[in-house]
Structure 1
Amino acid sequence: MIWNTMMGTSILSIPWGIKQAGFTLGIILILLMGILTLYCCYRVVKSRKTIPLIDTSNWEFPDVCKYYFGSFGQWSSLLFSMVSLVGAMVVYWVLMSNFLFNTGKFIYNFVHDINVTDIVPGTNGSTKVICPSASSGHPPQNMSVMFFSGNDTGFELFEEWWSKSRTVPFYLIALLLPLLNLKSPSFFAKFNVLGTVSVVYLVFLVTVKAAHLGIHLEFNWFTEDDFYLPEFRILFPQLTGVLTLAFFIHNCVITLLQNNRNQENNVRDLSVAYFLVGLTYLYVGVIIFASFPSPPLSKECIEQNFLDNFPSDDIMSFVARIFLLFQMMTVYPLLGYLARVQLLRQFFGNAYPSVFHVLTLNVAIVGAGVAMARYYPNIGGIIRYSGATCGLAFVFVYPSLIYVISLHRAGQLTWPALITHIFIILLGLANLIAQFLL
C-alpha cells in the first residue's frame, strides 16, 4: 500500500536527475536520500508517542505540529501540505497534456496512414531513440524526414489545433474540472490498481528497451566530452530536489499505517516499502541512463520525462502513455479532494461550504496547471521546486525539531542527537536554496 502510494510521477524524471548529478553520484544520492527520508518518516510515525497524557490515536502529523508549535505549526503545515498537493496536481496536468497530445498524434497518424518520423536527432533501427531538445548539438548524419500522404492542409490543420502547449492543456479542462467539483470522488479510488499496473509496465518497457539498445557507458570521472558526462556534476541538487518528492509520504504515512492489523510491524513495513521504492527508482534510472545510445546521441538528450525520448509512433511508449493518462485522470480528482478538504475545512469548518467556494478553488488549481503546461512544461523543475519546498517542512524540519524538543522535555537530549538533527535541518534548507541557484 505504501509502495503503491509513494510511487508516482517522479519515476519519469529519475533518469534525468541522474543525468544532472552524474551516474555514480546519482546512484549514491538515491541511496542516501532514501535512507534519510526513511529516517525522517520514521520520526513522523513515532511523533505521536512523544506526547504524554493525551490520546493521540486519531491525530495526524499536522495535529502533532500544532501541539508543539501552536497556530504557526498548524498553518505552516497546511501551507506546505498544499504546496505538495497542488505541486503534484500541476505536474499531473503537464504530464496529462503530454500523454494526451502524443496519444492523439499517434491515433491521427495511424487513421490517416501517415508515416511520420520526428524531425529531430535520433537513432536508426527497430528501437528508435530521439533527442527532442537537440541539446547535444550532434545530430546524426542521416536526419529523419517526414513522409505523409493525403491532404497537406488537413495535416497542418491538425497540427494547429492539436498542440502540446497551445491547445491540449485547455481541452483537459472540459474533462477534469467537472470531476473536481464532485462532493466525494470515492469512485476514483477504486482505480488505484492502475498505479501499480502503470509502474510495472514502465519497468517492463525499460527492460525491453534496454535489451534492444544495449549498454552505453564510459566512465569519465571529472571531465565531459561530446557524448559522455562526468560521474560527478555540480547540478546534483536538482536530483535531490526530485528525490525529496519521490520519497515523500510524510504527510499521510500515519493514516496509511493505521490500517495495519499489527501495529508493531509499522517500522518493518515502512522500511520494506522504502527499500522497494528505492530499488524501483534505481532500476529505472540506471537502466535508462546506461542504455541511452551515446553515441550517436549525448546523455544530455535524456528528457525530464524519459518517455519523450521515444517517438510518438513507438507502440510500447504509446501503451505506457495510455496507462499513465488514465491513471492520472483518476488520481487527479482525489488529489483535488484532499486539497479541498485540508484548505476549506481550515477556513470554513466545512469541506464543501458551497458550490461557489469549491468552484473558485478548483478553477485556481486548474488554472495553475494550464499555465504551467502552457508556459513551463518542465516536470523535472516543478517536481524539484515543490519537493524541496514541502520537504523542508515535512521531511527535514518538523520531524527533527519535534524529536529534539521531546528529548529535551524528557531530559534525554544529548549533544550527538542535537547536532545530528540540526545537520538534517540544514541539509533540507540547503536543498531548497540550491534549487534556485542551479
Structure 2
Amino acid sequence: MEFVIKISQFLLSLSLLIVLHELGHFIPAKLFKTRVEKFYLFFDVKFSLFKKKIGDTVYGIGWLPLGGYVKISGMIDESMDKEQMEKPPEPWEFRSKPSWQRLIIMLGGVFVNFLLALIIYIVAAFAYGDTDISADSIKDGYLIDNPLLTDLGFQTGDDIVMVGTAKIVNVSDVRTNIIGAETVTIKRDGAEQTIALPVDFLGQLSTSQDRRLFERRIPFMIGNVPDSSQNSKAGLKPKDIILSVNGDKLRYSDQVVSKLKTVKGETVTVEVLRDKETITKTLQIDDEGRFGVIAGSFPTLFAELGYFDIVRKEYTFGESFGVGYAKFTDQITGYFGQLKLIFSPSTGAYKGVGGFKAIFDIFPSTWSWEYFWGITAFLSIMLGVLNLLPIPALDGGHVMFLLYEMISGKKPSDKFMEYAQTVGFFILIALVLFANGNDVFKAIFN
C-alpha cells in the first residue's frame, strides 16, 4: 500500500508538471497563430495509450513516462522532422514568426514552471502556515550517528549553532544551509568550536552507506511490533516510549540502542510510558541487541513531553504573498547554487545526482497534500531551472540561439540547428543515463 501511495503521488506530480510546462509553450504558440501538431503527456514511442485529434492538434498520452512534448510546426526539435523543414516556410510555422514571438513561445514552459511554484508557495503559506522545531529548544544536542560526521569530529550531544555563515534558528535551517557550506559551528560543553567540512563533503555523503546528517535526538518509541518479533506477545503498543532498561533511565533512542548492545540475548525489565502512565514490561533482547520492533516517531507527542518546542506560524492572505515569494526566491537561489556545485568536480556533488528513483523516494509513504504540494513546487522549480540550461535539446538551447539571432541579426541555418539539436539530444540522453545510473549504483552498492 505504501508503494501505491508513493507511486500515485509521483505520477500525479510528474503529470501535472509536464502538462502545465507544455501548456506554457502551447498557449503562446496558439496566440501567435502557430500550428501545434501534437500535445503529449509522456512519450509515444511507436504507439500511444490514447490520442485524439482536435483541429490541427493531436492530443495524446504516451506509454513512456519520461516527460512530454508539444510538436510545433516549422521548429527543429526532438522530432527532427527534416522533410517539413525542406519545404518553403508557411505563415503558420514557427520559423516564420518574428524572433520575439519565438522567444516567448520557448520561454513559456519555464515561465509556467516558476509561476506554478510561486502560486503553490503562496497558497500553502496561507493554507498550512509554517511548522518547524525551535533550535534553542533542543536540550541535549543532535544525534551524530554517521561515521563520516564522527570522523570529522562531531559528537552526539553537539548543538549546531551555525552552518556556514547562517545562524540556526529552526531545525530545518541545518539541512537548508548545509549544501555548499564550508564550516559548521557547534557548541559542546558550553564552548563553541568550528569544524571544517572537506571540499568533497557532499560527494562523500552521497556515496556513503549512511547518509544521515544531524538528526534530532528523540525517545525510543514503538512504531510497530511484527508478528515475527520475539516480543510480539509482550503487550507492546504503538506510541509506547521506553523510559528505562534494567533500572537505567534512558531519555533518548540512541541511549536505548547503546544499552541493548550490552544485554544481547538477555531478558530485561523495561519501563514504558503509555498515555502518561508508566508500566513495566519484561522483554527479550535478541542476539543482535534489538527489541525486534519497528521504531516510530510522533513529533507532536515528543513536544508535549518536553523534548523540543514546535513552532507554528499562521499567515493572513496578504502576508502569504510575501512569505510565498521569499520561499520561491530562496528555492531558486538554492537550486542554482546546487547546480554550481554539481558542475564543480572537486566538490563531488555530481555523485549525488539522481534520476526518477531519487525523485520517487522524496515522496512520503502516507498521503499528505501539504507535503505533496511542497514537493511539487520544488520539482517545478527544478524542471524550470534545468530547462534553462543552454543545451540545444532543451528550451535554454533554443533561447540561446534566438538571443544570438536577435543580437546579431543573423539566423542560424536549419542545417546548423539540426546538428545542434542532435548534439544536444545526445548530451541530454547522457545526463539522463548518468542520473539514473547513479540511482542504480546506490541501490546496488549502498
Same fold (TM over 0.5): no
Question: Which of the pair has more CA radius of gyration?
Answer: 2
Larger % of strand: which?
2
TM-score (norm 2): 0.26
Between structures 1 and 2, the one with greater helix share: 1
Which structure carries more relative contact order (alpha carbon 8 Å, separation 6+)?
1
